[in-house]
Each structure stands twice: as C-alpha cells, then as structure tokens.
Chains A and B, each alone.
Chain A
Amino acid sequence: MPGGRRRDRLRWSKIYTFARFWPTVGDDEQPSFHGGPSYSRTVHCNQPQLHRKKPFKYSSNYITTTKYNVITFLPKALFEQFRRVANIYFLLAAALSLTPVSPFTPVSMIAPLAFVVGLSMAKEALEDWRRFMQDMKVNMRKVNVHKGEGQFDHKQWQNIRVGDVVKVEKDQFFPADLLLLSSSYEDGICYVETMNLDGETNLKVKRSLEVTLALDDDEAFRDFTATIRCEDPNPNLYTFVGNFDYERQIFALEPNHILLRDSKLRNTNYVYGVVIFAGHDSKVMQNATKSPSKRSRIEKKMDRIIYVLFTLLVLISVISSIGFAIITKNKMPNWWYLQPDQTTSLYDPDRAALSGFLHLVTALILYGYLIPISLYVSIEVVKVLQATFINGDILMYDEDTGNHAQARTSNLNEELGQVDTILSDKTGTLTCNQMDFLKCSIAGVSYGVRSSEVEIAASKHMESEATGDDAGVYGSYEVELDHEIDFKSDNPRKPTIKGFSFEDDRLMHGNWAKEPTADTILLFFRILALCHSAIPEPDEKTGGFTYEAESPDEAAFLVAAREFGFEFCKRTQSSVFIREKYSSSEDLIEREFKILNLLEFNSKRKRMSVIVRDASGKIFLLCKGADSIIFDRLAKNGRMYESETNKHLTEYGEAGLRTLALAYRVLDESEYSDWNAEFLKAKTTIGPDREAQVERISDLMERDLILVGATAVEDKLQKGVPQCIDKLAQAGLKIWVLTGDKIETAINIGFACSLLRQGMKQICLSTINNVVAQDANKAAKESLLMQITNASQMINLEKDPYEAFALIIDGKTLTYVLEDDMKNHFLNLAVNCASVICCRVSPKQKALVTRLVKEGTGKVTLAIGDGANDVGMIQEADIGVGISGVEGMQAVMASDFSISQFRFLERLLVVHGHWCYKRIALMICYFFYKNIAFGLTIFFFEAYTGFSGQSVYDDWYMLLFNVVLTSLPVITLGVFEQDVSSEVCLQFPALYQQGQRNLFFDWYRIIGWMFNGLYTSIAIYFLSIGMLYHQAFRSGGQTADMAVVGTTMFTSIIWTVNVQIALIMNHFTWIQHLFVWGSVATWYLFLVAYGMSSPTISGNAYQILLEALGPAPIFWIATIIVTAACNIPYLTHKAFQRAFNPQDQHVIQEIKYYKKDIEDAHMWKREKSKARQKTKIGFTARVDAKIRQLRERLNKRALSTSQSLEE
C-alpha cells in the first residue's frame, strides 16, 4: 500500500527527541542484576538444531492447557470424582453390596453411583475436549520460519524451536517471545498491540538493535548467527535482561527489543525475530495460572454438612452394631427359629464381636440414606437448568454483538448471589476504549453543549428523586443544577463520528472565526493538530485520514482538529502538514510546520510539547498536559483565562471527563537556538543521568506558558456502566478497578463511573524511585508502611460519615505491598476505602490482588475482564466473568460466566445470583431434611429388629425415594423458586445482601432443618407404629405385616416431604404443582404397578395397595395424621417468624400481594430508595454529595441574606 511505503522512508527514531542512544557494552562488562530471575539461558540464534539436545533443549512451542489427556483422563477424572467424600463412601458401599454384608441388592447400590459419576465425568470430558480444540487451533497456526539457506517457509507454531528466525507479517500474532531483529521500517521499529497481555489497545513501539538493522530480507539470514544470553523464563512482562553477542560484540537487550507471544504486529508489514522463549516458557504462558476447578462456598459448606452427616451415620452405625453384637451374643442363642448354631460369621453368637464388626459395615450401607447420593446429581441438574435460564435471559442479550450471557461453568451459580467484592478490569470492561472529544474551554469560554453520560445519568437520577416525596426540597436544587448544565437527556446522542461528540455551533462549520477570541481559538486548534506523535493513514474509502496515535485521546484530538477544519494530513521526519480550512466557503490551505523538537509525554512529566516553526518562521512551543502541571508553568501574562478555565476544568472533571490543559509560548530565534544547543548536548550525554539531564533541559523550556484552554474528552464508558456500578454499590458490593493503564487514565475512568468524585479523599500509594540505594527494597517498604499507617489513621480519625476515601496504587508499589509482611496492612487500608484503583498492574498482579482480597477478607470475589491479561484474575477469583466483546476469547475461555456488557452484571448478580443462591440454599437444606427424615426411620426400625440390618421398606422403595419420588420437586424448587420477582430484585438491591450475609445457609438454619428432619423421622415412625400395632388394621381382621407397615410409613414420608416442599415454596407455577403433586401421584401409581408385577419380584408388596391398603381406612388416616403432625412445627415456626420477625422478602411479598405498591405508589417509591445500601461510590453517592454541597451553600446564602436583612 502506498501509505505504508511512504512511511517506510520515515526514520521514526528521528522525530522522537528522546530517542534512545544505545550504548554498547564492553565485552568484559556484565550487566548487573538486582534480584529477579537467574540468568542462565543461552539462545543460539538461527541455529535451532543446537537446541535439540541438552543443555540447550528448552521447552517447545507446543502449548496445552487441558487438564487431562487420553491416558490420564480416566484415572485423573475418576480421582477428581472420588475426591468427593460422599462418592468414596458410595463406591465402597457399592463394592460391599456384592458381598452378603449388604442389606440391599447390588444393583440398587451400583446403578445410582454409576449414573452420578458417569454424568459428571462426561461433563468433564466435554469441557476438556473444548479446551483441547482451542489449544490445537493455536498450535496449528502457521508462521514463516527460516529453513536455512535464506529460505523461509511456513511452519506450525508447535514446531517452532528456540533459536528459530521467524518472519511475522502484519496483523499476525507472535508465535513465541521473540527478539526483534529488523522490521519493514528502515530503523527497525515496529508497532505492537499488547491487548492480550495488558489490555491496552494503544500501539507500542518496539525497536531492534541498530546492529541487526541490516538483516531485513530473507537472504540476509543465510549465514546469520548470534548468541543471546538472558534471564530464565519468568512471568514478568515488563522486564527483560539479557545481552546479544553478535559479530564479537555484546549488546545489552532491553524489554523494548522483545516481542511477546500473543501480542500482535500492527502497522508494520513484517518483522524478523529470533525465538527466545517458546511455548510454556514464554512470558504470557508463565503468567497463566493453572485453571483451578472452582467450587462455590455453599458447596464447600455442603461438604462439611456431609461430614456432619457422616459422623451421624457412623454414630448410629456404631450404636446399631454394638446393639447387634450384644443381642447376637446374649439373645440370639435362644432364638432357635434363626438356627443360631448353623450360622455364618454374619450372625454368629460365638463370635459376636466379629459379627458386630461386620454389622457395622452393613449398618453403614443401610443408613446410607442419610447421605443423599442424588444430591450431587440433583444439584448438577439444577445448576445446568439455572445456567440455561441465565443463557436464555433476553435481558442479558446484546443486540450489537449478538452475544448472550453464558454460564460456562454451572457450578458457581449460587456464588453469584454472595459476591462481596468485584474486581474489574477497565479497558473493554468499563470503557469501550473509545475517546470522544466532547467539550473544550477556549479563552475562558466553555464550548460543547452535549452532556456527558455522567451528567445525563445524574440528571435523570435527580429528576426521579425530585418527583419523590422530597420534591419540594430537591426541586430547588435542580433548578440550580440545571442552569449550569443543560441536560438533554431527551435528545439522545447519535455520534456520527467516532471520537468526536462535540456539538456547538459557535465553533463548528468555521463559525469560530466570528468569536471575539478567534485568535486564541485558532491557536487552540493548531495545538490540537500539531502537538502529538501520531501518524496519519489515508483512508481509501472516504479519502480522509485515520490516525495512528499512541493513545486514544490523542486520536480524538486529531479527529476533533479535523472536524474543526485543521486536518493533519502528513508527517515527514521534520514537518507536519495541516490542511486548514477556516470556513466552509474557503478553500483548503496546506500549511507546513517544521517540528524542531518533540518533548515526549511520560507519566512523570504529565505533559508533552512540540517546538514548531511555522511558515512565517515564528517558533512556538505548543504544550498540552495535566492542568496542575500546566498551571504551575504559566507566565504572568499567560494567566488571563486561568480562573475561568479552572472552573471549567472542575466542571468537566465532575462530569467524568478527562481533561488536558493546552498552552503555548512564543520563542524567539536566539532563545531557541541557545536552548537547543543545550538540549542536544544533554541528549548525547552518555551515562546514567542522561535522562535526568534531558528532563531538566526540557523543563527549562516548558515555562512561561500562555494558557489557551482545556479539552475534555470522554472516555466512553460502556453502555450502562455508571448505572450498573451504582446499583451494584447499592447492593452492598465493593468495586475495585485493576487496570494495566496509566494512573491518570485510571483516575479519569474512576471519575467517569463515579468510583471517584470531587471531594473524595484520594490516597495514593507510591514508591520513590531510588535505584541507587543499596537496600532499595527495604527503604521502599518502610516508606510504604508509613504511608499505609498514616492513611489508616486518617481514615480512623475521620468523623464525617459522608467522607469517602479512594485508594490509588500503581503496579510497582503493588509488588512491595503484596509481599507477605505488608499485604495485610494494605488490605486493611483498602477495605476501609470506598473505592480502590490499581493501575499499571501486570496480569500476575491482578491475580495476586484478587487472591489477597479473596483470602484476606474471606469473602466472595468476582473478577470481570475481557482481555487475556485478565485471565489470571478471572481464574483466581471465586467467580470469573469474561466480557465477550470484540477482543480475543481468552478471558471468556477462562471465565465461569461470560456476558457481553458490563451492565449485564447487575442482572446476573442481583437477579440470577440472588435467585440461584436462595434456590440452592433451600434445596440443599431440604435435601438434608428429607434424607434425615427418611434415613432415621430405618434406624428406629432397627432397634425393633434386634439391629439385624433389616429394612422395613422394600428395596425398590428405597431406590426410588431419592431417584424418582422426591427428586423432581426438589429440582423444581432449585430451578423455579422465586421469593420475589426479578423486577423487585432490581428495585430492592438490599435484598442481595441476604446472600452476602448468607442468611439462608448459615449453621443455625442448617441445624434447624436437621432437627426438623429428626423430628419428622420420629413422628413418622412412632405414629405409624402406634397405629399399625399388633391389632387388625382392617375390618376384615387382617393384621399388619412388614410390607403393610413399611408401605404405610413410606407413603407418609412421601406425603410429608412433598407437603414440606410445598410449604417452602413461595412461587407456584403449574410446573411446581405438576411435580410436587405429581410425585405423590407417581408413588401411588408405582405402588399399583409394582403390586401388579409378579410376586417373585414384588414379594410381600404384591397387590398391596389395591388389595391390602387401599380399602383400609387406617392407611389413609395414618397418612393424613403423619403428614399433618410432621409439618405443623414447621408451619408454626414459619407463621411465627413471618408474623413477628418478618424478613424483607416477606414484607415485600405482602406489599405486592395486597397491591400496596400500586395503591400507595409513594410509599413504594420511598422504600425503593431507602432500600439502597448507603454507598460512598456511584452516581447516587455523587448526587447526594452534590446535594449536600448545595444545601450547605443554600444555608450559607440564607444565613447571609438574613444577616444582611438584620443589618
């Protein structure tokens, strides 16, 4: 393409004033290292064959992220399955069921287990297969590799070795970590997009060593050899230490020479590189943490309950085997009808101890019904169904991308209802990573009539507040707010131009020339068009230009300048060309500006400047930078607009915009040349203080500036992000932002999504850059500890309840803070802050911070992100949520849930999370209840059979109990139960806190349910036995045998547990009715069918319902009374609780039931607003703060007027 070729001629390094001068390191000099990884790797460039054998045999480029392979699947997956204690127990039980010890038939033990384990393993296999396919896709990618003799050929990624020379073409991913040798640009630079590594979408420039620049075509590699000695594989993305031994000279290598795997080559036709780290050695793979199998808290607690039940099981088994041993020893010799002298060791009175021991095994199997085998399967089924509801929720479907929410692992659904802290990535998650030029202040006049999203949302919010009960009070504020910012919420913005949402006729269409300050405005536009380091790229489709800038705001400025009529169209090594068009009628004038110097932006300087000479020969210094920096550097005569601009800047900041101040300075020729001489000298200094020198000299020039104005750019938040954050905050969630971005950007976003606001106290933790100090680490840590202690003290001493603190910390500081001795101090400070923002964090650090929060607070953490750099954190957090947006799929692949927009998080958590939590909690409690109720009746019966291990129920009843008769109602409970509708969930975020506080699955409740089970079992057993005692149970004089007693008891149990579940449910659709009452009906149907089967199958249950029980009134009477007696205590408890200690959902249900929300809309509205968690972040907090501020002002004004009246 022509553009590319034109740029090829451009020596990029020349336009950077700070272009590095690469000192060569002498042969004898060894770079020094401060800690870090050891330094043993040797790479023989272009000699991959040397890396076939030890000691240079490094790992290949084949990657695998699967958990299993063909051979290990069976053992490993089985091992995984039998890590569940319950499954081991059932496995043993199944094995023992083959021996005569078992009280049941083998099929009834083995079939359910095989079903349960098989189902879970099939699921695992499927998931791993998907991962395998994903890996294969990556491994099969092709890249051009040097085959020898200057020939390049395509090779699969997996076959690349360390030492290979590869040629990567435009828009390809780097297959491994490469040393950049040369590029299509003459000066060996290339652009790299590191989106997958750190989430930043701006392009980064990488440069090759000067010495390898010549290696820029295939032929050049015929005889190329070199040796790299460098650090060992490590996960640190931003460091690289090594040297390059080429043509008997040694050159130091820096991170800037390294192209990392999974980043992408952009805007560069091709590069040559040599593989340093391949496959799992590469930095991105080192950053990958093993994907853990996550289990929800409820499930972990469930395991503990299972332990409790096991204890109970062992206890009653021991009781019953001791009882059995005693009876066998003392009584059985007299029981001639058992032929005690012809017995096996199972019932041997002479060896009662042995029999007792064997009986222990029998009992453990017999009472196994205490441990619900179908619990895991039922939960799995429920979760899969819950997940389908999440997937199918149309309100979480994104029309633009066509993605719906996806629960990728279904075992964390209920955890969604308990989230305490959200750790969010910024780029792509909170923001679209798109900057829109929205407003500007020029010469003390603010332009731009459109409102930022923050303003629109705030106004909407206040409108709704105003119509509330306090309308009178708020109304007055609104007027006051409104005259300042003209909200146009009814006029939705339709941005026609990406990056430009500015709207103001005073400046557009050349109208600016009519403004009184047209000169300043012209200057303003010129600064926008000149003061940057971007390059234009012609767009063939439209004939215009697109801009390749280092940061998205820079691009937004250029687009803005273009729209104002100052189109940046060409950059040469020394000049920038601008097509200026003063009004729509005038013709284009192309002007050339000579770029004399470019003083680069960095986060320390917080400004950038260019020194240009215009056509007339005048020299200007044009500067843009953070307002505080610029304001400090203004000349006395440059402060004309300072106060207005300052006011505007504050307004913009409040509106969530990122601002920069623009200034200029006119230089005269001699002044400039003096300075330039010094500057050049500084630049060519060799030694460590070169940068300091350059900086000092630059600083000298960037003084006595004249303020022109300020820009306000909106970092476009994703749709609905502020509202979502607001709601989440109201639901009591804490939100941390972890971003790879610069601190300034992060803070701006913090403002935009109301995590930060004016008047919030910001605590910035930082380290002093003191590399010289011997014990730099120690010093830095000490100073940090000081900062943390001070900040904590400040928070503790704060009296104002509305005062909020924000903690801001960068990645470097985090490395210290995350060390073991510091992390708890840090965490204590962080949890006391309303919002926490971590900037410049590496993927690994994201994961570490997540772990710190997770382990330090012990609460549920949710990590949300969209890029590969978020994978670590997504995997580390209790719940990982991936944004399935435009960018790569890595985050989604690693996540547990994927949604396409951040705003769907609200519905995911507040609605689905809340429901799933309650459902699963209720379901598990009920499960234990029903199994205890059932299991203990078997135990009580034992006491009446001499503890012989005989069950009163038919084997078939037992088998069906868990699998058929009681499973479907509990599944409907788990899938369809709703305490309140989704609408109410969203209206009352406070309901979410029930999950955070774990109100429905605390030990109190669990034990309560267990006692309910115990009571039920007692009631069932003794009532049934009492009624079916030795007397005739029918008018026909027949007496009850074991089948009659067992069937009656079992019928009572079926009724009891199903009525119980009906009492639990709050929400009956036809489905619940069908399954609950259907289960009861199924039981009777089964009984009829079973009774009709051959008596060799049904035994004493033959014709039991139709002939024996059906006509017997006592059968029905017994069922009724047992069902009633078992459920009365629960009903009483529930009625009592509801009457005198109602929970929020009870009251809300009542309000809804009596339609009070419609009758008394006022009350409903008031309660909705009260239900919000008092937050210090989010819109509401921001609006509240604003209102407080206004109220104070109003009070003051009232005071002063009254005073003046008095006077």
Chain B
Amino acid sequence: MNNSAASTSSGSGDVPAPRRNSNRPKYSRFTQQELPACKPILTPRWVITVFTLIGVIFVPIGVAALMASNKVVEIVYRYDAVCIHGNTKDEKVAYIQNANTSKTCIITLTVPKDMDQPIYVYYQLDNFYQNHRRYVKSRNDAQLKDSDKANDTSGCDPEKTTPDGSPILPCGLIAWSLFNDTYSFSIGNQNLTVNKVGISWKSDRDHKFGDNVFPRNFQNGTMKGGASLNESIPLSQQEDLIVWMRTAALPTFRKPYGKIEQNLRVNETITVIIQNYYNTYSFSGKKKLVLSTSSWLGGKNDFTGIAYLTIGGLCFFLATAFTVVYLVKPRKLGDPSYLSWNRNPSGH
C-alpha cells in the first residue's frame, strides 16, 4: 500500500475529496440528448397512406397538366429547308452568306384549331449551342447596364473590340450572333400585327439593360455575325437582343419573337414572309417558326402530365402492393420474435 493510502488508514476514516463542482457539467435535457422528439415510425399504415396520398395528389395534377397541354394549340413550321437554295451544305452556306441574294421566303400555315389571343410567336433553333461555355461567358453585364462602363469589355473575347480597337457595345459572342430572321404574317390581305413589345422579362428591361446605353461599333468588325442594332434605340428597348441574351439551357430552344394579339380561327391560312438571314446551315441547325397559345402551365408539353400520371400510378401500385404483401405476410409491429437474438439464437 502506498503512502497516500496508508496515511489515512489510521482509523479516522477517509474524508471525501472536496467536490470541485465547478467541473460538474450542467444538466439539461439538451446536453443529455433527451430533448422531446418525435420519432416517426414507418408502419405499414403510414407507408400505404403515404403512397396513396401521393397517388391521390399526383394523378389529378397529371390529368390537369395533360389537359392544359392538350388545350394549347401549336403550329410548328420548319422553314430552314424550304427557304434555301442549293443542295449541298456548302451551297446553302454560300447562299445564306451572300449578302446579295434574296432571303425572302413565303410560307403558309393553316390554323388547326381555334387559337385565342395572345398567340405567341417563337423561333426555334436546333443544334445551336447557346450553352457552350465559350459562348455563355462571352458577355459583359456591366457594360449593358451602365453607360459609364461602355468600355468595359472584359470577358467578351473574341468580340471585344473592332479591328481599330474601339470597344464594341454590346460586346461578346452572344450579342454578336443575334438572331436576325424576321417574320411578317398576314391572313389573306390583312396583315397580322406582331407585337414585339413585352416579350422580354420586365426586370431585364428595367434594370439589366440600361435605357441610356446605346449600341456602338456593333457588327462593324470584319465578320458580321447576326442582326445589327439600331444605334439610336437604347438597349432597354432592344427586346430581341434582351431575349437573345438569355442563353438557353439546351441546344434546342425557342425564343419569343412577338405576340399576335388577335384570335385565329380554325382553317385560316396564314401567310408568313420570312427573311431567312440567319445561318444555321453551317452546323445543320433547323429553324422553325412556332405559333402557340399558352395555358396556365405554359406551352404544349405532355411530359409533365405523363410524368405525374406515371408517378401517381406507381404510387397507387406500391400502395396496393404493400397492402397485399402486408395482408399475405403480416408482421405484428413490435413483435419481439423478430429481434435478431430470437431469429437466430445461436448466431450472435
């Protein structure tokens, strides 16, 4: 026995060490991890209820979405193939790049169903990689917004400056490649006005594109990309540009061209005069003209409805399957015979 033990073994009894209560952890339900908690358990009833509930919610949404999609009347016309001369790609490209050839092209569309106004006019490009990193990065938001930053063309490679070094406004590949086909519509002899105001986001017009910022040196370079801009109109009113500057996520995309604020009746024939300037022939991109009404869910797309119906149906199926399985092979909840030591007593 060591000293410390022996020295107290004199019969006086051991005096408990003074308590250092300062060290004592504070008790709380939090520190003891005993906070009141809800401990949901996935009981069969819950499982079946959850799946049924999802089904009950999803199927109607799916039906509604499908109905909305069906209600939308959409005219899609691919005109890139018909509005070109030449058979090979090279011929087509040469044709489209020749400034002297006539690009006018007249097509007719038949309205399949009544279309109530507003009827949105879109152009649709295919195989056009607006989402390419080189393309997406090639812009300068500051320049578009602020007239003081007209010279700020950082990030706009390779469309920063004209060959003589003056900054391009709007700079960058996106603006440079602005879509420049134009459409004019008529039914019989009556022109259909296309309202091109308000096709862009209001916030873009108000805050992103300055109303005192005017295009400068645009399309003055050696290569002409797409549309030119009227230098006397501020960017905030150049809605085609504003729309175009919102790069699309996918290589197939539609962009609003304008609105026809007039009802179209079934079987009416619309004549469209297209100025087919935009070169998609180099990369075999399709160009389509789209006239579409819209529903609460937007344009025509059955996918949403089908997806909802599928998932809803699947949940109904799962609910049924679980019900059947629970009926066939029930397990009493909290049945201790399912504890591992009861199931294989030797197998610890």
Residues of A within 8 A of B (CB): 103, 193, 195, 201-203, 266-267, 331, 334-339, 342-344, 346-347, 389, 391-395, 397, 399-404, 433-435, 495-500, 537, 539, 541-542, 544-549, 551-552, 554-556, 559, 563, 732, 886, 915, 941, 944-946, 948-950, 952, 976, 978, 981-982, 990, 993, 1023, 1025-1046, 1066-1072, 1095-1096, 1099-1100, 1102-1103, 1107-1108, 1112-1114, 1117-1118, 1120-1121, 1124-1125, 1128, 1131-1132, 1134-1135, 1138-1140, 1142-1144, 1147-1154, 1156, 1163, 1166-1167, 1170-1171, 1173-1174
Q: Which candidate, B78-86, B262-270, B304-312, is the interface stretch facing chain A?
A: B304-312
| B124:A1030 contact, CB within 8 angstroms | yes
Q: What residues of chain B lie closer than 8 Å to A347, measured between beta carbons?
A: 134
Give Cα distance in the complex from A1173 to B334, angstroms: 21
Q: What residues of chain B lie closer than 8 Å to A435, measured between beta carbons?
A: 1
Name which residue of chain B comes closest to A404, CB basis. B25
Give Cα distance in the complex from A1044 to B246, angstroms: 10
CB of A551 to closest CB in B, whole Å: 7
Give Cα distance in the complex from A1114 to B338, angstroms: 46
Give Cα distance in the complex from A540 to B292, angstroms: 108
Q: What residues of chain B lie closer than 8 Å to A1125, measured between beta carbons?
A: 307, 311
In B313-348, which residues have CB < 8 Å from any A CB?
314-315, 318, 322, 325-326, 329, 331, 333-336, 338-342, 348
| B135:A1031 contact, CB within 8 angstroms | no
| A400:B334 contact, CB within 8 angstroms | no
In B11-59, which residues have CB < 8 Å from any A CB?
11-14, 16-17, 19-27, 31-44, 47, 50, 54, 58
In B160-188, which residues have CB < 8 Å from any A CB?
173, 176-177
Contact of B2 with A by CB under 8 A: yes
| A338:B132 contact, CB within 8 angstroms | yes
Q: What residues of chain A lie closer than 8 Å to B136, measured between beta carbons?
A: 950, 1042
Give Cα distance in the complex from A969 to B151, angstroms: 46
Known: A397-B23, A1139-B47, A1153-B334. 10 other contacts (CB 8 A): A393-B31, A400-B16, A401-B20, A402-B20, A404-B25, A539-B7, A945-B133, A1032-B254, A1095-B207, A1102-B208
Q: Which candidate, B108-116, B227-235, B294-302, is the interface stretch facing chain A?
A: B294-302
Contact of B4 with A by CB under 8 A: yes
Provided the pairs A337-B225, A948-B129 are in contact, do residues A1032 and B299 lie with their beta carbons within 8 angstroms?
yes
Contact of B255 with A by CB under 8 A: yes
Most B CB atoms within 10 A — which of A201, A336, A551?
A: A336
Name which residue of chain A comes closest to B4, CB basis. A886
Most A CB atoms within 10 A — which of B25, B284, B295?
A: B25
Give 5 nearest A-B pairs by CB, closest first.
A1031-B299, A402-B20, A555-B1, A1150-B334, A337-B177
A402: contacting residue among B24, B201, B203, CB under 8 A? B24
B292: contacting residue among A941, A1031, A1108, CB under 8 A? A1031
Q: What residues of chain B lie closer than 8 Å to A993, measured between beta carbons?
A: 348
- Interface bits B137-149 vs A (CB < 8 Å: 1, else 0): 0000110010000
| A393:B32 contact, CB within 8 angstroms | yes
| A343:B39 contact, CB within 8 angstroms | no
| A1067:B37 contact, CB within 8 angstroms | yes
Contact of B3 with A by CB under 8 A: yes
B10: contacting residue among A193, A542, A1069, CB under 8 A? A542
Q: What residues of chain B lie closer than 8 Å to A1033, measured between beta carbons?
A: 298-299
| B247:A1041 contact, CB within 8 angstroms | yes
| B1:A549 contact, CB within 8 angstroms | yes
Name which residue of chain B comes closest to A1106, CB basis. B203
Provided the pairs A403-B23, A1128-B311, A1151-B334 are in contact, do residues A1170 and B294 lie with their beta carbons within 8 angstroms?
no
Give Cα distance in the complex from A1038 to B202, angstroms: 11
In B177-219, which residues have CB < 8 Å from any A CB?
177, 199, 201-204, 207-208
A1131: contacting residue among B50, B251, B283, CB under 8 A? B50
Q: What residues of chain A lie closer than 8 Å to B250, measured between beta carbons?
A: 944, 1025, 1029-1030, 1045
Contact of B279 with A by CB under 8 A: yes
Name which residue of chain A comes closest to B303, CB basis. A1026
Name which residue of chain B comes closest to A988, CB basis. B339
**Can you list 23 contacts pairing A with B, beta carbon distance less than 8 Å?**
A103-B133, A201-B5, A334-B282, A339-B223, A434-B1, A497-B9, A541-B12, A542-B11, A546-B9, A563-B11, A944-B249, A948-B129, A1023-B307, A1026-B304, A1029-B250, A1031-B292, A1039-B122, A1100-B247, A1117-B308, A1118-B304, A1132-B318, A1147-B335, A1150-B43
| B131:A401 contact, CB within 8 angstroms | no
Provided the pairs A392-B26, A1170-B341 are in contact, do residues A1095 and B246 lie with their beta carbons within 8 angstroms?
no
| A498:B5 contact, CB within 8 angstroms | yes
Provided the pairs A389-B31, A1128-B318 are in contact, do residues A201 and B1 lie with their beta carbons within 8 angstroms?
yes
Residues of B within 8 A of A (CB): 1-14, 16-17, 19-27, 31-44, 47, 50, 54, 58, 61, 65, 118, 120, 122, 124, 128-136, 141-142, 145, 157-159, 173, 176-177, 199, 201-204, 207-208, 223, 225-226, 246-256, 259, 279, 282-284, 292, 294-301, 303-304, 307-308, 311, 314-315, 318, 322, 325-326, 329, 331, 333-336, 338-342, 348
Q: What residues of chain B lie closer than 8 Å to A946, measured between beta carbons?
A: 129, 132, 251
| A1070:B7 contact, CB within 8 angstroms | no
Most A CB atoms within 10 A — which of B42, B255, B296?
A: B42
Give Cα distance in the complex from A336 to B304, angstroms: 35
A1174: contacting residue among B34, B176, B311, B348, CB under 8 A? B348
Name which residue of chain B comes closest to A1132, CB basis. B318
Give Cα distance in the complex from A338 to B301, angstroms: 31
Give Cα distance in the complex from A498 to B15, angstroms: 11
Q: What residues of chain A lie closer than 8 Å to B253, measured between beta carbons?
A: 1030, 1039
CB of B80 to closest CB in A, whole Å: 15
| B340:A990 contact, CB within 8 angstroms | yes
| B256:A1135 contact, CB within 8 angstroms | no
Q: What residues of chain A lie closer than 8 Å to B315, measured between beta carbons?
A: 1124, 1128
| A1043:B33 contact, CB within 8 angstroms | no
Name which residue of chain B comes closest to A402, CB basis. B20
| B300:A1096 contact, CB within 8 angstroms | no
Name which residue of chain A comes closest to B97, CB basis. A336
| B133:A339 contact, CB within 8 angstroms | no
Give Cα distance in the complex from A497 to B9, angstroms: 6
| B26:A1095 contact, CB within 8 angstroms | no
| A1040:B135 contact, CB within 8 angstroms | no
| B37:A948 contact, CB within 8 angstroms | no
Q: What residues of chain A lie closer than 8 Å to B204, measured between beta carbons?
A: 1102
B145: contacting residue among A1038, A1095, A1103, CB under 8 A? A1095
Give Cα distance in the complex from A549 to B9, angstroms: 12
CB of A1026 to closest CB in B, whole Å: 4
| A1124:B5 contact, CB within 8 angstroms | no
Give Cα distance in the complex from A1034 to B298, angstroms: 4
Name which residue of chain A comes closest to B203, CB basis. A1103
Q: What residues of chain B lie closer than 8 Å to A1037, measured between beta carbons?
A: 118, 120, 199, 256, 259, 292, 294, 298-299
Name which residue of chain B comes closest to A435, CB basis. B1
| B338:A1113 contact, CB within 8 angstroms | no
Provided the pairs A1025-B250, A1147-B334 are in contact, do residues A949 and B42 lie with their beta carbons within 8 angstroms?
no
Name which residue of chain A comes closest to B25, CB basis. A392
CB of B86 to closest CB in A, whole Å: 16
| A1100:B246 contact, CB within 8 angstroms | yes
Q: What residues of chain B lie closer than 8 Å to A389, measured between beta carbons?
A: 31, 33
CB of A897 to closest CB in B, whole Å: 15
Give Cα distance in the complex from A391 to B265, angstroms: 78
CB of A624 to closest CB in B, whole Å: 16
Give Cα distance in the complex from A373 to B339, angstroms: 39
| B298:A1026 contact, CB within 8 angstroms | no
Q: What residues of chain A lie closer than 8 Å to B36, measured between beta carbons?
A: 1069
Q: What residues of chain A lie closer than 8 Å to B11, measured between beta carbons?
A: 496-497, 542, 544, 563
A944: contacting residue among B4, B17, B134, B251, CB under 8 A? B251
| B339:A1147 contact, CB within 8 angstroms | yes
CB of A972 to closest CB in B, whole Å: 12
Give Cα distance in the complex from A1123 to B17, angstroms: 60
B47: contacting residue among A400, A434, A1135, CB under 8 A? A1135
